[in-house]
Amino acid sequence: MTSKIDEIDIDNGEEVFEEIEDFEDEDSDDGVSKSKSDSNRKRKVSTPALKPHPPIPKLPYNDRVFIIQQPKNDTNIIDYEILTLPSPKHKSVKCRYILDKENDRILEINKFNSKPSSWFIDNGVRHDGSMYLSSDIDPLFLLIPFLEKYKSLHKNEYLEISSIINDSYYCNLSKIPFKHSQLSLICDSKEIAGSKLYRLEDEKLLIWLRCKVKNISNYLKETNTDIFKTSNYVKKDLSWETLYTMSIGFVSEYLSESNCKMLNQSFNLLSATAQQTIKSESEYLVYTERIIDEPEPPKSKRGASKKAPAKKSPVKGGGISNFLSLKNDTPTPITVPSLKPSKKSEPIIPTTTTIAAETKGKITDFFTKIT
Strands of 94-100's sheet in order across: 66-67, 131-136, 105-112, 94-100, 80-86
Each residue's pLDDT, cut to its tens digit, for the chain (371 residues) gives 444 444 444 444 444 444 444 444 544 445 545 555 555 554 544 556 677 767 766 666 666 778 888 777 777 778 889 999 999 998 889 999 999 888 889 999 888 887 788 888 777 777 778 888 888 999 999 999 999 999 999 888 999 998 999 998 999 999 998 999 999 999 999 998 888 999 999 999 999 999 999 999 898 888 877 666 555 555 667 788 888 888 898 899 999 999 999 999 999 888 888 888 877 776 666 655 443 343 344 455 454 444 444 444 443 444 444 444 433 333 333 333 333 333 443 333 333 333 333 333 444 444 444 44
Q: End of a domain among 82, 116, 137?
A: 137
Amino acid at 154: H
Residue 241: inside a domain: yes
Same domain, 112 and 184: no
Same domain, 244 and 335: yes
In angstroms, how far apart are the furthest CA atoms of the chain?
A: 149
pLDDT digits (tens, 9 = 90+) for 8-29: 444 444 444 444 444 445 444 4
User: Tell me, what CATH number does 76's domain have?
Assistant: 2.20.25.530
The answer to whether the beta carbons of residues 266 and 210 sit under 8 Å apart is yes
Please give the Cα distance from 47 to 276 (Å, whole number). Answer: 80
Same domain, 120 and 66: yes
Going from the C-alpha of 216 to that of each of 58, 319, 338, 370, the distances in angstroms are 43, 13, 18, 6
pLDDT digits (tens, 9 = 90+) for 193-210: 888 999 999 999 999 999
The answer to whether the beta carbons of residues 247 and 220 sit under 8 Å apart is yes
Same domain, 283 and 213: yes
Domain of residue 153, residue span: 138-200
Residue 261: inside a domain: yes
- For the chain, the 3-state helix, strand and coil shares in percent, each to the nearest 5, are 40, 15, 45
Other residues' Cβ atoms within 10 Å of the Cβ of residue 144: 21
Q: End of a domain among 137, 154, 169?
A: 137
The answer to whether the beta carbons of residues 170 and 164 sit under 8 Å apart is yes
For 236, how many CA atoms within 13 A lie in the half-sphere containing its CB? 9
Same domain, 349 and 239: yes
Same domain, 228 and 248: yes
Other residues' Cβ atoms within 10 Å of the Cβ of residue 78: 11
Residue 8's φ and ψ, nearest 5 degrees, are -75, 130
Residue 282 carries which DSSP code? G
45 contacts: CB under 8 Å, gap ≥ 6: none
Taking each helix axis from N to C end, the angle separating 202-222 and 240-251, rounded to the nearest 10 degrees, works out to 120
Residue 299: inside a domain: no
Same domain, 194 and 125: no
Please give the Cα distance from 129 to 357 (Å, whole number). Answer: 18
Residue 50: inside a domain: no
| Number of domains the chain is built from | 3
Determine which helix (DSSP H) or strand (DSSP E) holds 99, and give its type and residue range. strand 94-100
